[in-house]
Amino acid sequence: MKIKFLHLLLIASLLFSSFNSFSQEADTSSTHLLFELSLEDLMDVKIVSAVRQNQNITDAPSIVSVITENQIKERGYLSVDEALNSIAGLDVITDHYQPNLGIRGVNGGLRSWSRLIKVMIDGQNVSFRSSSDNYLDASLIPIEAIERIEIIRGPNSALFGKDAFLGVVNIITKSGSKLKNASISHFLARVNENPSFGLSTIWGGTKGNFDFIFASSYSQIDKSGLSPHNVPGSTIYNNQDISQQNESNPFSIFAKLSYEKENLGKFVFDINHQIINSYAEFLDWGTLTHNNRISLFNAYQRLVYTKDLFENFTSNVSLSHSTGKPLKQEILDTDSDPSEWVERDIGYTSYDLGGNISYFFDDINNFTLGVDYITDIHDHQKYYTVTNTGIRTLNPGGTEGIRNFNNLGIYLQMILNAAEFFDINYLNDLTLTAGYRFDYHNIYGDVLTYRLAAVYHIADQLSTKIMYGTSFNAPSPAQLYTNPIFPGDIIGNPELKPEQAKTLEWAIMGKLTDNINFNTNLYYTIIDDKIEYLLPYGETTNITAANIAKIYSAGIESELNISYHNSVSYLNYSYQKTINERTNPLHGLIKVESSLYPHHMIKFGETYKIPKYNIKLNIDGNYISSRKASEQNNFIYDPINYTINSYSLDSYFLFNFMLSSMNLKLLDNNETILSFKIDNLLNTKYYYPGFKDYDIPGLGRLFTFRITQML
């Protein structure tokens, strides 16, 4: 009934919008501008993530993709993970608690929530540092606060240090001066026949030398009604086994205040608070208990000062404080026995101090020297069994560890165009970049990383790049020292070493015509000391993380963007092949196809504007080929030969549709945007890899109605 009402409201609003269009000329100039900007943003936008300074995307010595504010609006994204899932080479799976982002054929696997990449907001690390997990759902940041998302595929530890392992996601936020309108937005949705809703707002502006922006969002999403999918040959679950309380309530706040005066410099103070609050029904240690509630607080506050010391010399200093911990309402339930449950102690407090100086010889040639010091004070993860009589008992296992994690990083980056620097004309189109970084950590020791890149401009707005770099991923405190949730569960391994990667990349990108641009790259990555979870053998009764694997991953990623008349389209394709090499107790040294990741992914979309009727249509979708199930599930499938005899999940195709209004003014001559979106229009059944004795069902057809009022 609610959905029918929403249908009628949307139709009525669009009819009203269409009626208005007959009394005025079609806004063809703004139509052209909208789509011209959408395409130009992808090739001419100045990005900061590749070299920590403004640089054109065709000049950047990295494989970079950008998701712009326009694209976020046109495609109806409500969270960062939805946006990232449109990028070639990225794959998002979920357990309906948190998305888990994989990249270039590699996924973090069991209890890894996007820890293979570094996620930042304006250059500030936002991971939950006790586990290094990145929470990419709507709790990360209000989607309205995002100006663009810069995605770098490939190693970036030489610039950003630990955790910039296989990629970097840097969310660039809006400023008050660039905020066109304050707004309030509300959505209603039907998810698996369950009502859901959300509310968000953004406002800001400038006054004198001050610039301010504030954004917040809250939503309640109910994904109940999903049933686990049995491992082939198993009949553990039936149609009566469904999630009954799979509700999440993500909440986020972002604010930024800046003050700039020419002779004084620029001060920026920003904060970001996120609350992850979810009844998780599909976690491997507490499936369908209907009483699993993970509730976490994660936040940072930061002060940044930027000043031009003198001509061609710039400096930047930042100080931030981050903290994270569980909230009181968190409860972990490993079974359906109401007489006892599990609680945990975990948390961190961090202080980051960093600075760099850059000298620019000219518009291209420059060097940057930077230093950063990070101290993380951890309350290491400990699980307690609690009874309804109030008895709280520490679960046996795990290791006491050092609380203070301290890291000192020193990096140097040089960008050189020999033609400009040495006046060698025939090298005019070649730019070289070299970056080196040394990290010293009191837990895992010294790490040296570097990257080298050459960018050659073949023609105007057409360049080719070749890059080689190294990176590392430090083991998290939870991997080092945790005790188990239940007997036989994961215990920490204090002997873990950092994972290390070496990547060679080649790319060609640019404009084919004024209306078509493209980006194609090839890569080859070798990962040493990959952390894998050892299943129990012999006298070992618990799952343990260990540096036991070597990964070989290769692939191709291609992106195509087309702007024509009133439409903008994108199409990307990626192929990845990943081999896992390690020693197996039964078979010795083996090389097998890595699990969890599909070989082929095709993603596409088109936004079409109809000025005559003041509406926009957006279609998008993706094809995901079959993927090998998790090792944990293949162990269930074949306990003896699971490494060489495995099963795979079926391929699937998802198709989404959205209809939205344009130039509709319902309140004080300010624009009102109405949109209606259907995700998984064809109601396709599909499954994500699980990590217990089932695979995780995807969502069916999902309806969302959204209204945004400009103020």
For 7, other C-beta atoms within 10 Å of its C-beta total 13
Tell me the per-residue pLDDT of 630-689, one tens digit each, with 9 for 90 and over. Answer: 988 998 999 888 888 899 999 999 999 999 999 888 887 889 999 999 999 999 999 999
| pLDDT value of position 23 | 31
- Distance, CA of 289 to CA of 291 (rounded, Å): 5
For 640, other C-beta atoms within 10 Å of its C-beta total 9
Tell me the per-residue pLDDT of 216-238, one tens digit each, with 9 for 90 and over. Answer: 999 999 999 999 999 999 999 99
C-alpha angle 81/705/281, rounded to 5°?
Answer: 50
Tell me the per-residue pLDDT of 353-373, one tens digit each, with 9 for 90 and over. Answer: 999 999 988 888 889 999 999
Query: What are the C-alpha distances in Å from 609 to residues 23, 29, 336, 357, 370?
Result: 19, 12, 52, 46, 46
Which strands form 146-153's sheet, in the order they lie side by side? 63-68, 146-153, 167-173, 118-121, 124-125
- Distance, CA of 155 to CA of 504 (rounded, Å): 9
Q: Report the mean per-residue pLDDT for the chain.
A: 88
Beta bridge partners of 168: 118, 152
**C-alpha 418, offset from chain centre:** 37
Section 248-252 average pLDDT: 96
Domain parsing of the chain, residue ranges: 2-710
- Distance, CA of 103 to CA of 578 (rounded, Å): 11
CATH code of the region 2-710: 2.40.170.20
- Secondary structure (H, E, C), 648-667: EECCEEEEEEEEEECCCEEE
**Residue 589: band (very low, low, confident or very high) from pLDDT cuts 50, 70, 90:** confident
Q: Which amino acid is at 368?
A: T
- Distance, CA of 482 to CA of 678 (rounded, Å): 42
- Distance, CA of 216 to CA of 603 (rounded, Å): 30
**Residue 533: band (very low, low, confident or very high) from pLDDT cuts 50, 70, 90:** confident
- pLDDT value at 610 more than 50: yes
**Range with the poorest average pLDDT among 244-248, 408-412, 498-502:** 244-248
- Distance, CA of 242 to CA of 232 (rounded, Å): 19
- pLDDT value at 16 more than 50: no
- pLDDT value at 341 more than 50: yes
**Residue 52: band (very low, low, confident or very high) from pLDDT cuts 50, 70, 90:** low
Rounded percentage of the chain residues whose pLDDT exceeds 70: 91
- Distance, CA of 479 to CA of 545 (rounded, Å): 7
Section 99-108 average pLDDT: 93
DSSP 22: T
- pLDDT value at 24 more than 60: no
- Distance, CA of 322 to CA of 421 (rounded, Å): 42
| pLDDT value of position 190 | 93
Q: Which amino acid is at 10?
A: L
Is the model more confident about 40 or about 505? 505
Alpha helices in 558-675 (DSSP H): 631-637
Section 410-438 average pLDDT: 85
